[in-house]
Amino acid sequence: IAGITQAPTSQILAAGRRMTLRCTQDMRHNAMYWYRQDLGLGLRLIHYSNTAGTTGKGEVPDGYSVSRANTDDFPLTLASAVPSQTSVYFCASMSGTGNTGELFFGEGSRLTVL
């Protein structure tokens, strides 16, 4: 089934540890995004990539990094996790880059940092 796959679906992590959330899509979409979703707040953009080989910072990029080596994969890395990074993380993709198309979301990765 075509779509976006995220891994892991859930993780408990000790503060200070490094963690990579994986995201893979098979729809050949150009644009990919990482959001975090916290209770009472709207989705907040962490990083994005308009096409393979390029990345950009979103609204809340500090403490996170991304890479886009190819069209399909867009991993998100927390270099040294802190408790404020406890959240649900969603990866998404869009066929265009103008943010006027439909976003397709992965099922989310629930991360708890202790």
Between 108 and 113, whose beta carbon lies closer to another protein?
108
Q: Following DSSP, what letter does each residue of 7-64 receive, concatenated? A: E-SEEEE-TT--EEEEEEESS--SEEEEEEE-TTS--EEEEEESSTT--EE-SS-TTE
- Site for another protein, residues 23 to 52, rule: CB under 8 A: 40-45
| CB of 75 vs another protein, minimal distance in Å | 18
Residues 74, 89, 108, 113: which binds another protein (CB under 8 A)? 108
| CB of 60 vs another protein, minimal distance in Å | 12
Per CB under 8 A, 2 contacts another protein: no
